[in-house]
């Protein structure tokens, strides 16, 4: 499984908010923003902070997506 933040990027577009403005408003570290941009996992605390900021639910900002190989470690 991997994480998709496509819904987050759509939400930013709907709010007419740039990624830079988003990062600054939520006081996200540049490393965290890089992880979001690359579709990598971030902490649940970050996801919850995003949800609180937009007054939405987790499913409104990200999805778990099944990978071809099943994501075996």
pLDDT, residue 73, reads 52
pLDDT, residue 71, reads 54
Other C-beta atoms closer than 10 Å to the C-beta of 5 total: 21
Supply the range of the domain harboring residue 61.
2-65
Note the pLDDT tens digit of each residue in 13-60.
999 999 999 999 999 999 999 999 999 999 999 999 999 999 999 999
Is the pLDDT assigned to residue 9 strictly greater than 60?
yes
Residue 18 included in any domain: yes
pLDDT, residue 68, reads 84
Q: Report the CATH number that the domain containing residue 61 is assigned in CATH.
A: 1.10.260.40
Helix (H) or strand (E) holding 64: strand 63-65
pLDDT, residue 70, reads 59
The answer to whether 36 and 42 are in contact (CB under 8 A) is yes
């Amino acid at each position: 499984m991997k994480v998709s933040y496509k819904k987050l990027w759509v939400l930013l577009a709907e709010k007419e908010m740039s990624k830079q403005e988003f990062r600054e408003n939520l006081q996200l570290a540049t490393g965290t923003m890089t992880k979001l941009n690359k579709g990598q996992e971030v902490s649940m605390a970050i996801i919850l902070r995003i949800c609180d900021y937009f007054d939405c639910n987790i499913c409104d900002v990200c999805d778990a997506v099944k990978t071809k190989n099943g994501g075996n470690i």
